[in-house]
Amino acid sequence: MITRSIDEFRTRAAALEPSAPGCARGAFLVTPHGFHLAEQSASDNRYMAMDAGVDANAALAEHAALARRVSGVLPTVCFPGDASTPDAVFPNNVFATAPDRLIIGRMRHPVRQREAERPDIRGFFGELFGYDEIDLSTIDGVAELTGSLVIDRARNVGYCGLGERCDEAGAAAMHEAFKLDLTFCFDLAPGEYHTNVVMSVLAGRALVIAPDGFADPAVPPAIAAVYAPQTLVINGRQKADYAGNCIALSDDTVWMSERAAASLGEAERAMLAAWGFRVEAVALAEIEKAGGSLRCCVGEIY
């Protein structure tokens, strides 16, 4: 089922129990070669620091450290970046996986549509892994994959924020491509571009959510009820520091940037620890100038 009804979502979600692994079995990243800020993306991404200078070498160093750290938890592969596609450092919006499937997104901006044409990532999953390819890049809609769609893999439930980067046609296409049992669609608040900036499901058992990222104030409590009492509510400042752009790369770790981790108070860290999550923080100050953070950098392999 795909629905915009809060009541329908509550009814269906209450019947779904975790039945699959909540974390990926591998990760893929794209290096920030020729790192700079894409003006097209800035038109609907208020998190980009367009007035700030960027240091391409510093971005490469940050990314190398991230890849090294992630590889200590999951098998990790890095694909080369390209200065003509500067946003490629955030591959999860363009390429995503489900068991035996590679899904290619429909990006809003031409600078990102070029990423979807990469033969190396397509070939890696298609020829080496033998995954079926589901190509949404030519659909009549916008579907920026796991930027717009936060998936609880354990329950096979998707949370899809509608806005500039995803419309109803895109949401329907992703629901089918990921073979989800339930997708809950809702409008993001004006100015929000991706759902994975305002919420994250951690290993299918906890939730991080910023209520002010949603147009309808009734939506966050409805989602939180699925994970109660293990819900960490963050405020607008913490959201702006990318605390919502976090990811559980294992059942006992939640990964975020150093900036995001610094925004959490002792009580919030204690909550995560009580739920079995150790915070792993990685310095990403240069990369974050491009309007995304750690979760955006990590493509998951299922």
Per-residue pLDDT tens for 86-129?
A: 778 999 999 999 999 999 999 988 888 999 999 999 999 999 99
Domain count for the chain, please give it: 1
Q: What are the DSSP calls for 18-72, one per residue?
A: --S-SS-SEEEEE--TT----HHHHTT-TT--TTS---HHHHHHHHHHHHHHHHT
Q: Which residue has the tokens 């993306």?
A: 41
Domain of 89: which CATH number? 3.75.10.10
Higher-scoring residue by pLDDT: 108, 273: 273
Per-residue pLDDT tens for 23-68?
A: 999 999 999 987 755 555 545 556 645 566 778 889 999 999 999 9
**Amino acid making up residue 202:** L
The whole-angstrom separation of Cα 293 and Cα 229 is 26
**What does pTM read for this prediction?**
0.94
Residue numbers of the domain that contains 287: 2-301
